[in-house]
Chains A and B, each alone.
Chain A
Amino acid sequence: MIAGWLQRYATLATTALVCLLLYIVAGSLYAGFFSPRVFVGFFADNAFLGIVAVGMTFVILSGGIDLSVGAMIGCSSIVIATLVEQAGWHPLAAVLLMLLLGALFGASMGSLIHFFTLPPFIVTLAGMFFARGMGFVVHEESIAIRHEFYPALNDLPATLASWLHLPDGGVQFVGRYLPLTAVIFLLVLAVGIYLAHWTRFGRNTYAIGGDEDSAVLMGLPVGRTKVQAYALNGFCSALAGAVYTLYTFSGNPTAGTMLELDAIAAVVIGGTLLTGGAGYVAGTLLGVLIFGIIQTAIIFDGTLSSWWTRIAIGFLVMVFILLQRLFQRTLGSARRRPS
């Protein structure tokens, strides 16, 4: 029983341990690291990475990969900004449209990948070019968003809190410690966990990533599920673009450059196998947190330049991959054919 439990949660536990360790080390090195503000920052500042990573988790679980997410963030943000500032749309309408477009975009890539058996790497690569290009086509430079709805939107959690008649202290707490971006991230995370563990779609995704041929023979809706996974990811990246506009009050076609790498790194560090079929959405959360801790620590340090984040993340990915290999070799159990 223990062996089974261990087998299943080993990598997740390791990631959690590393996350905790990093947090403690950073906190002991830098004064003020343990403050609640910093903690909230992990969620709020990395919200778009986190949202994208949740979507990416599903795609990777299904055995695929999606390189277009970063480009989609840029495209999404500039489309929203353009619609709002230049076409006079209401932000909510713009965001909703973009979410729909994102999902459709993902679905199209998923369809090409499945129905014509094209390699996911290539198709989503083309998707990345396409999205990035379309972003620039819509508007070459960044646009600042001045619509009055935006600040109101940011204050939404606090507004809701006072609407719910929470005491003044409570409203302040919500306002300081539950910024909208973080809330959206947590919501997406919660939905992700629900989808992964309590819906047929989620379990089918795991099955397809585990052994696609068997999944077909078992009668699972492989095509539909794959397309759904990519659509979900497209939705998430469009949403991340919307969150980006919330965070920066602007839309920028260059936003999200190389973000897909960070997302993949977060998913991998979180314990999801790149081959698919194994991993947890909660792991991705841990991966994003680790990313946030490292980045914040480097800012706190002041002497280290930002590119150390890249080196640290690369190093961590390597450590985790090697650990995964170690676990696979010792606890792995596929029986060989006897003779």
Chain B
Amino acid sequence: MKGVRKTFPGMIALDDVNFTLRAGEIHALMGENGAGKSTLIKIITGVHRRDAGAILLDGQPIEAHSPAHAQMLGISTVYQEINLIPQLSVAENLHLGRQPMKLARIDWKTIRRRARESLARLELDIDVTRPLASFSIAIQQLVAIARSLDVEARILILDEPTSSLDENEVKQLFTVMRRLKSTGLGIIFITHFIDQVYEVADRITVLRNGRLVGEYETAQLPRLELIGKMIGRTAADTPRPERARPHGVTERNIFLQANGLGRKGSIAPLDITAHSGEVLGLAGLLGSGRTEIACLLFGLDRPDSGGIAVRGRKVRINSPRKAIAEGFGMLPEDRQSQGLVPDLSLRENITLALQARRGWLKPLSRKRQAEIADRFISALNIDTTNAEKPIRFLSGGNQQKAILARWLATEPALLILDEPTRGIDVGAKAEVEKLIASLRDRGMSIIFISSELEEVVRDSQRVIVLRDRAKVAELTAEDITEKRIMLAIAGSETT
């Protein structure tokens, strides 16, 4: 791609971007949020039309008019949300739109046979007659990849494929990717997991703010430099909040005590204590159960065992409403489906939880709503020209901040933050971490869930480590290091 440019009303999404993919290579496309990665991909796959620039395949100019057309040109994409039909069988999904026919009838037998063959090429042996949805996301992804291969892709684009996979599944995926690479396929790998990039990518392209920062050989680009290129500063400039001071916590400060809290199939019974004025970090890999605990505490799920006591008083939390009444707040992991009310304005979104707690008979006046909203808009530096626009028009990072504002507005005693920095740019991340520290200093009890180990280490006074849906360790003070946490997750003894 040469000199590609794309504008949307009010913003330049891509400005003079070049991108080169070689056959038989895995090429990572990286950039912070809003850098333009997804726009670039949408142009390649025909979802958007570029405003300027050229796209060449094998030296020949091409233009995809639609995703279907792109597929015909040999460009296949596997998105994060598996874009297949869940109720239909695996075999059928692989052949939709190109079923082999025999005498004006679909040849199901051949379909099943070919399906098994396709999947065997990816070392997958499953019952192809079962509905796609009955398999795990990892397997569904492999099926999606198999389909791409079946339609003879020359280029395979993987958009954040590892976000929902556990470690083994990621390894499996990488094996498949390497094998595909050796057959001459060109793979574009979009991800924000830096470790994974270094594990499997041959080259890296970094975008920032719609512009090309550079194209590099992975082997020749140190991590620190990569991060620097992505955020536009060298690592030395990255503002780092001071290492959290060990805080004096005594029995007096216990806000919440949960004993033997567990739920079958979700999380094994564990004890968890949250103190006022302390940040409790929950560390663990994807799938270890961190969000599950949060859901139990916040009343989104019902526990099978154990109980919760707030300030020594036993409580039964069976709905978010009850949790909120007890002084809890929770920033959900998936702000899109669990947080935003897209057509309501920023102001209404921010004041929603507060209003819900007050009840329907005591509405906040427009004036009060605006006051509260403005307070948090400036405190969190939410970038918006008008608090009356539907919130779906705001960028991801600002949406995240808005939901955070919603919970801060309720002035909770316990605030659960599930991946608060996911999806927001580095500058905003630092702001959020500063905010967490100041809330803690004001006496709030905070449970901080994050996949970024260094964040957990930096901001928590105590850390509970989870592995495979069970608590495996609890660390305090000097013991809180990335190494200790990783050891706990790995399962060896901590000295």
Contact = CB atoms under 8 A, between A and B. Distances in A.
Contacts of A211: 83-86
Interface string B313-332: 00000000000000000000
Nearest to B99: A200
A333 interface: yes
Interface string A208-220: 0011011111111
Which of B85, B147, B334 has the most CB atoms of chain A within a 10 A radius of its CB? B85
A258 to B, nearest CB: 31
A330 to B, nearest CB: 13
B154 to A, nearest CB: 16
Nearest to B77: A217
Interface string B62-80: 0000111001100001010
Given A210-B85, A211-B85, A339-B290, A219 B134 contact: no
B130 A210 contact: no
Given A7-B134, A198-B105, A213 B291 contact: no
Nearest to A212: B85
A329 interface: no
A220 B129 CA distance: 21
B96 A339 contact: no
B97 A278 contact: no
B83 A214 contact: yes
B333 A339 contact: yes
A333 B134 contact: yes
Interface string B133-144: 110110000000
A36 interface: no
A219 B290 CA distance: 38
Contacts of B97: 200, 204, 218-221
Contacts of A200: 97, 99, 101, 106
A338 B66 CA distance: 32
Contact of B88 (A199, A207, A334): A207
A217 to B, nearest CB: 4
Interface residues of A, number: 33
Interface in A299-339: 333-335, 337-339
A197 interface: yes
A218 B83 contact: yes
B321 to A, nearest CB: 22
A48 interface: no
Contacts of B87: 206, 210, 277-278
A87 interface: no
B125 interface: no
Contact of A1 (B127, B292, B333): B127
B396 interface: no
Size class of the contact patch on chain B: 35 or more
Given A8-B131, A216-B67, A333-B133, A197 B86 contact: no
B85 A277 contact: yes
A339 B291 contact: yes
Given A203-B106, A219-B97, A337-B164, A4 B287 contact: no
A333 B86 CA distance: 10
B137 A219 contact: no
B286 interface: yes
A4 B127 contact: yes
B271 interface: no
Interface in B140-172: 147, 164, 166
A338 B88 contact: no
B25 interface: no
Contacts, number: 105
Contacts of B99: 200, 203
Interface string A11-44: 0000000000000000000000000000000000
A199 B106 contact: yes
B92 interface: yes
A198 B292 CA distance: 44
Given A203-B92, A339-B291, A339-B292, A219 B84 contact: no
Contacts of A219: 66-68, 71-72, 97
Contacts of B136: 335
Contacts of A207: 85, 88, 96
Interface in A184-213: 194, 197-200, 203-204, 206-207, 210-211, 213
Interface in B280-318: 286-292
Contacts of A204: 96-97
Given A4-B134, A203-B96, A218 B84 contact: yes
A338 B166 contact: yes
A221 B136 CA distance: 28
Interface string B331-344: 00110000000000
Contacts of B133: 333-334
A203 B68 CA distance: 17
Given A333-B133, A337-B164, A217 B85 contact: no
Contacts of B84: 211, 214, 218
Given A200-B97, A339-B286, A206 B85 contact: yes
A335 B13 CA distance: 34
Nearest to B163: A337
Contacts of B286: 338-339
Contacts of A337: 137, 164, 334
Interface in B246-296: 286-292
Nearest to A333: B134
A216 B134 CA distance: 22
Nearest to B102: A198
A199 B164 CA distance: 35
Contacts of B79: 217
A217 B83 contact: yes
Contacts of B104: 198-199
A4 B96 contact: no
Contacts of B86: 210-211, 334
Contacts of A206: 85, 87-88
A195 to B, nearest CB: 11
Nearest to A210: B85
Contacts of A221: 97
B99 to A, nearest CB: 6
Contact of A214 (B72, B85, B101, B449): B85
A306 to B, nearest CB: 38
A194 B288 CA distance: 47
Given A4-B131, A219-B66, A339-B288, 6 more contacts: A1-B129, A203-B92, A206-B85, A217-B83, A220-B96, A337-B137
Closest 3 CB pairs of A and B: A219-B68, A338-B287, A339-B291
Interface of A: 1, 3-4, 7-8, 194, 197-200, 203-204, 206-207, 210-211, 213-221, 277-278, 333-335, 337-339
28 contacts: A4-B129, A4-B130, A8-B131, A194-B105, A199-B106, A200-B97, A200-B106, A203-B99, A206-B85, A206-B87, A207-B85, A207-B96, A210-B85, A210-B87, A210-B88, A213-B83, A214-B82, A217-B83, A218-B147, A219-B66, A219-B68, A334-B86, A335-B136, A335-B137, A339-B289, A339-B291, A339-B292, A339-B418
Interface of B: 66-68, 71-72, 77, 79, 82-88, 92, 96-97, 99, 101, 104-106, 127, 129-131, 133-134, 136-137, 147, 164, 166, 286-292, 333-334, 418, 449
